[in-house]
Amino acid sequence: MRLNWFTRKGIFYKPASVTGWVLFVIAVVYAVYTFIDIDKRSHSVSDTLINFVFNLLLIGVVYSVIGYFTEAKVEKTERAE
């Protein structure tokens, strides 16, 4: 069974279905939530950003792995010569 939730645009995965958009929105909402949570416990701007960048990278990696395994693969065809 082939899932076509995302399409690849360069190094990024663009949602191509409703499920892809739901996952994208969940990732963005979770990133905002973690930023607010970290900001509540931080003492400075640099403290907030240093701690947030690691979480944002983890969110990005998980999103990319899901995008990789559920992307619509374009089949390569041979040129007729």
pLDDT score for 60: 94
> What average pLDDT does this structure show over 21-36?
95
Residue 75 has pLDDT above 70, yes or no: no
Confidence of residue 10 (pLDDT cuts 50, 70, 90): confident
Confidence of residue 72 (pLDDT cuts 50, 70, 90): confident
Domain ranges of the chain: 6-69
Task: Give per-residue pLDDT as tens, 42-53.
Answer: 889 998 999 999
Do 71 and 7 meet the contact criterion of CB atoms below 8 Å apart?
Answer: yes
pTM of the model: 0.80
* Surface-to-core class of residue 38, CB atoms within 10 Å of its CB (0-12 exposed, 13-18 middle, 19+ buried): middle
